[in-house]
Chain A
Amino acid sequence: MAAYLLLVGVPVMGLLGILEAGRGIPAPLSIGGEWAIESDPTANCANPPGSLQRQLAWSISQSGTEALITLHDGHAATLEATIDGSTLTAKSPSGTIAATIAGKLGKRTMEGKISLVGCAPVAFRAVRQTPGKRGE
């Protein structure tokens, strides 16, 4: 009985302490899921890249402070992004994104500038449609 209390009871109390301590830990803002873009990032393009004529959506796969933005451009071009507080920065051969994340969890938005290859930087606003399933 004493061994049981020591080996099971004490760790269970410890676990409850861990759960309590962890409540205050801040986590990166959630941005994973499908997003709709409320402006045309290819508006200032001299030569719109590939089939990217009117980029209207992207999806994001997030793991903590790292994220992978997949453009719905027919080629599924990807940009690796990092999240620092409410700031998102993404860079890849396809282009760059610098944005500020805002809004509550259910109504997350993003505002900033996107610069795709062959296009001048353009301001955009994006709204998350659904957090969506992960790993897809």
Chain B
Amino acid sequence: MLDLFHLVLQIAVILVAARLVGFLFQKIHQPQVMGEMVAGILLGPSLLGWLVPGVSAALFPPASLSYLNALSQVGLVVFMFVVGLALNPSDLHGYGHAAVLTSHVSIVAPFCLGGLTALYLYPRLSDDGVTFTGFALFMGAAMSITAFPVLARILTERGLLRSRMGTMAIACAAVDDVTGWCILAYIVVLVRVTHAARPAWVTIAGSLAYVLIMVFVVRRILPAFEREFRKRDRLSDNLVAVIVVLVLVSALATEWLGIHLLFGAFLMGAIMPKTQEFTHYLLHKFESVTVVLLLPLFFAFTGLRTRIGVGGGRAIWLYSAIVIVVAITGKLGGSMFAARLAGMPWREAASLGILMNTRGLMELVILNIGLDIGVISPAMFSIMVLMALVTTFMTTPLLEWVYPTRLLRAQMDAVHKNVA
């Protein structure tokens, strides 16, 4: 039975913790979302459950977590729609082979290193219920992801969004996101068909049919919303509700097909009309409740599943160090090297690598899917969460060190003077 008192109390505690830690992290020049992610971890067994197990057990009894999970999943569905909505194919125009090479290397390099690491970690942190192929592909996909929303926020905060390196980073992150989600969809199908009653061909053929319908049928209907928006400069509540229903139906379709709820929500956002005013209007409509209320619940739920340093002995710290080093080498090193080969100066290439190394909450989304479908173990989940936190935390200070704001401002001023 739903324990409403517990649920409301949990939400209140999570929101207070998220805002407080987010505020503190902003004080040390970290994005707010980084603080919210850490707040989630602090509320879980890694800190609260370790320091005061009685309080933790009273606040988050296991039986109550399913409601928290349900709420956070709804939040994620809306959030993935927002991520898809923010993706704009025009970001990719004009970068030619440099963006293609950099983005593809920034996927392939960490993917390969992730696969190589899987050779060592599979017999230690997995079991025979998971195939090596599924485990290695998941490791690769999780290592190669970039947090598009966090990256965009860091670039905006530093005034880098319109710089050459900033626009290149956005283009590469967009390619990475789409590729990463396609690979993940394949892995989910690969893992689920081995346990599902439904034949594999139904999932594969159904997924193809779904994508074709979305791209060639639904996408042609969606501009009607934009036309209505242009006429009135807003959308009626009824039309916003229709968009929400479309997102939910798309999410349900992918869940039914055996991929995952989130893919449907993401694709629905990706095929929405991309004029700036319309996109901003929808982002404003959907973002506030999702970012302020529902995402902190997801971070808290993730934190409750994460046991950093709990159990596993010293070996866990060794595995964590290996995963973090491999993730940084593959993503930061691969992107930087490819950008330099594509003609970028070293400083900009290094900055691009640092930005691409930001994994943020997109990594947490992927890791939760991996844990849910059973392709990674709880210990592997905790290690990867730690890696996501480290790679996101290091972005801002490392970027400031490699490409100081004063230098950036001076260069942008020089460009403006030349243009004038």
Contacts and interface: CB of A to CB of B under 8 A. Distances in A.
A64 B112 contact: no
A120 interface: no
Contact of B129 (A14, A30, A136): A30
B341 A61 contact: no
A18 B129 CA distance: 20
Contact of B371 (A29, A80, A135): A135
A22 B118 contact: yes
Contact of B133 (A12, A19, A65, A131): A19
Contacts of B377: 32, 62-64, 134
B311 A15 contact: no
A30 B378 contact: no
Given A3-B341, A28-B128, A15 B305 contact: no
Contacts of B129: 30, 32, 105, 131
A22 B114 CA distance: 13
A3 B116 CA distance: 22
A130 to B, nearest CB: 10
B133 A64 contact: no
Interface stretch (B29-37, B101-109, B165-173, B267-275): B101-109
B164 to A, nearest CB: 20
Interface residues of A, number: 36
Given A27-B130, A68-B311, A19 B115 contact: yes
Contacts of B371: 133-135
Contact of B378 (A26, A63, A65): A63
Which label, helix, strand, loop or mixed, suits the secondary structure of the B interface? helix
Contacts of B237: none
Given A7-B101, A133-B372, A64 B125 contact: yes
Nearest to B118: A22
Contacts of B198: none
A64 B112 CA distance: 22
Nearest to B380: A63
Contacts of A105: 128-129
Given A25-B132, A80-B311, A11 B112 contact: yes
A21 interface: yes
Interface in B84-121: 97, 100-101, 104-105, 108-109, 111-112, 115-116, 118-119
Contacts of B132: 19, 22-23, 25, 27
B126 A64 contact: yes
B199 interface: no
Contact of A135 (B119, B136, B305, B341): B305
Contacts of A66: 311-312, 379
Contacts, number: 126
Nearest to B100: A4
A18 B378 contact: no
B140 interface: yes
Contacts of B100: 4
Contacts of A65: 124
A100 B146 CA distance: 43
Interface in B120-150: 122-130, 132-133, 136-137, 140
Interface residues of B, number: 45
Contacts of A18: 112, 115-116, 118-119, 136
Contact of B127 (A4, A23, A32, A133): A32
B381 interface: yes
B108 A8 contact: yes
B125 A63 contact: yes
Contacts of B49: none
A23 B371 CA distance: 21
Contacts of A21: 119
B286 to A, nearest CB: 28
Q: Which of A19, A30, A105, A135 has the most CB of B within 10 A?
A: A135
A20 B418 CA distance: 55
Nearest to B383: A63
B338 interface: yes
B186 to A, nearest CB: 13
Given A25-B132, A131-B129, A15 B374 contact: no
B115 to A, nearest CB: 4
B374 A64 contact: no
Nearest to A7: B105
Nearest to B132: A22
Given A25-B119, A135-B371, 4 more contacts: A22-B136, A27-B126, A63-B378, A66-B379
28 contacts: A4-B97, A7-B341, A11-B112, A12-B112, A15-B111, A15-B115, A15-B140, A18-B115, A19-B136, A21-B119, A22-B118, A22-B133, A23-B132, A25-B119, A26-B123, A27-B132, A29-B127, A32-B127, A32-B129, A63-B312, A63-B380, A65-B124, A105-B128, A131-B129, A131-B374, A134-B374, A135-B305, A135-B381
Nearest 10 pairs between A and B by C-beta?
A: A63-B379, A30-B129, A22-B132, A63-B377, A30-B127, A64-B125, A18-B115, A11-B112, A135-B371, A135-B305
